[in-house]
Amino acid sequence: MTDHDEGVSTLAKQGSITFVGNVFNGVFGFAIVMVMTRFVSPSVYGLFVLATSVILFTQVFANLGLPLAIDYFVPQYLEEGEPGKAKGVIVQVTATVLVTSSLVGLTLAVSASYVSEFFAEPSLRIALLLLAAAIPMLAIYNVLLTSYYSIKRLQYRVVMRDLVRPTVRFGVTLALLLAGFGLLGLIVGYLVGLLVAITVGAVVFVYKAWEIMAAKMELVAPAPLVRYSVPLAMTSVVYVLMGHVDYFVLGFYLESDDVGIYRVGYMLGSALTIIFSSLAPVFKPLIAETRDDTALVEERFRIAARWIAGFTLPIAITLSLGAPAYLSVLYTPQYAEASAVVALLSAAFLFNVTFGGPDGTLLQGMGYSRVVFANTLVLFGANAVVSFALVPFFGIFGAAMGSATALSLVGALTLVELHRLDGVHPFTRDFAKVVLSGVPPLLVGAPIVLLVDSNLVVAAVLPVVVFATYVLSLVLTDAFTDDDARMAAEFGPSVEKWLPAGLLK
């Protein structure tokens, strides 16, 4: 990292803010699921997961991928000093997705009975009728998120997505479950949390992005927006389907309680993507504004990849080794059935985000939207084929094998594409030190799981031992660099800027 690369400084500052938000969101996310699994049966929870999976898949068709054009074109217009065109992009995208998403939501409501018949779940019809209202809401929600990405003000996105939405959803859901509303409580909590988050997010964006909102709007040619967005729209369709195909396959072959148990295991395994998801949102606009400077792009890519690897490895090791303990302690012992799912998915996510870093985001930022679409087709195809083949024989572990195969395959494929297209790769000697430092904590953590009988003790002690051993390994291998020190220096002040006074004291 050069001393003059303000982009990496922005990556560190905004990434640290997003990380704090992800931690809050993750805590509330786990808390919500813990409440759900204690107040409703696995079958009711599985039914809710199946319904929201249908909604999340359907809403991708509703927004046509257009929100993804915002954080690609708006940074370029702002860099060129044309806030009127930046406003035009946001307004055109918002108006379009509001119309299309409303039509898709209405279509889903009309066809809810057919979907419920397909999955042989009669109660699914009622859930879909109520949740259809979420489709236009999700479209506007995604517009707001990418708008915050485009101006690199992720602290306000954190307020909307990671603080307001999960807090409101948790409070409403808990109150309704205590009142005995069951599935209806889960649905209403989901909708109210989304509505309040959109309201707060819209007000904050208008206030904080007043330079854009006050500018005289200049409509931009729709063709470039469509050319960039359509491949990514198809990518989003396939990607979301890939993310939920496990639930669809399980819902088709097995019972709704299997869907609920698998969902808990998948959520715990995917928790290690918290670092990747903290840096990825701001990484794309940083790449988009310097996409013609390959050397600078590679430098930023390598720094991001090292930091993702460094923070992700100990989380992956902890989750893989301690899955039975965490599932039993955080939820109920019946969810320990998903232990093998957690271990396998942790390994797959580890490979995908560690060895590739923010590779898919890099391809989007450099304008290779068609390549991203092709990769997502591979991702979905591999997952669907393996899941359909193995779920009848291995149950929820067969679904995990489908996801793990797809994630590993596409992670490797994307690395090859980056090298062939622009000669970019993340592998350096410093990167190798970060990865190999994960071996000692794995060797030290395994005996704890094997020798200690108490799940509560394992859950408490394992992360401390793993993280301490990992940091010691980094020190002994001299893995920390001057670049790391300069980047780390950006974290504390950036968090203090937006958190309430005295919170960190």
- Considering only CA atoms, which of 363, 371, 373 is closest in space to residue 291? 363
209: Cβ contacts below 8 Å, ≥ 6 apart = 147, 151, 153
Run of H or E including 249: helix 222-253
Query: 471: which residues sit within 8 A by CB, 6+ positions away?
Result: none
Is the Cβ–Cβ distance between 425 and 415 less than 8 Å? yes
Distance CA 67, CA 206 (A): 17
> Which residues make Cβ contacts (< 8 Å) with residue 374, sequence separation at least 6?
none
Rounded Cα–Cα distance for residues 103 and 274 (Å): 34
pLDDT value for 17: 63
CA 120 to CA 381: how far, in whole Å? 25
Instruction: Write down the pLDDT at residue 236.
Output: 62
Q: Which residues of 50-61 are buried (b: 16+ CB within 10 A; e: fewer)?
A: bbbbbbbbbbbb
- Sign of the torsion angle spanned by Cα atoms 301, 268, 254, 190: negative
Torsion of CA 16, 21, 22, 27, to 10 degrees: 130
Rounded Cα distance, 196 and 199, in Å? 5
Q: Is 239 helix (H, G, I), strand (E, B) or coil?
A: helix
Handedness of CA 302, 305, 311, 313 (dihedral sign): negative
187 CB-side CA count, 13 A: 23
Burial class (CB in 10 A: 0-12, 13-18, 19+), 485: exposed
Q: Which pLDDT value is given to residue 169?
A: 92
What pLDDT shows up at residue 242? Answer: 61
**What distance in Å separates the CA atoms of residue 65 and residue 67, rounded to the nearest whole number?**
6
SS3 of residue 419 by DSSP: helix
Measured CA to CA, the distance from residue 51 to residue 104 in angstroms comes to: 15
The single-letter DSSP state of residue 216 is P
* Count of Cβ atoms closer than 10 Å to residue 209 Cβ: 22
| pLDDT beneath 70: ranges in the chain | 1-19, 21-22, 152-154, 229-244, 278-286, 288-291, 354-360, 365, 369, 482-505
With DSSP H G I counted as helix, E B as strand and the rest as coil, what are the percentages for the chain, rounded to 5?
A: 85, 0, 15
pLDDT in tens, 378-400: 878 888 899 989 999 998 999 99
Beta-carbon-side half-sphere exposure of residue 263 (alpha carbons within 13 Å) = 30
**3-state secondary structure (DSSP) of residue 182:** coil
Alpha helices by DSSP H, listed for 111-214, are 112-118, 123-131, 134-150, 154-158, 165-178, 183-208, 210-213
Amino acid occupying residue 306: R
Rounded Cα gap, residues 410 and 402, in angstroms: 12
SS (H, E, C) 251-282: HHHCCHHHHHHHHHHHHHHHHHHHHHHHHHHH
Note whether 473 and 441 are within 8 A (CB). Answer: yes
SS3 453: coil
- Rounded to two decimals, the pTM is 0.64
CA end-to-end distance (rounded Å), the chain: 31
328 Cβ contact list (under 8 Å, min separation 6): 335, 336, 455
For residue 314, what are the contacts with CB-CB under 8 A and spacing of at least 6?
438, 441, 463, 466, 467, 470
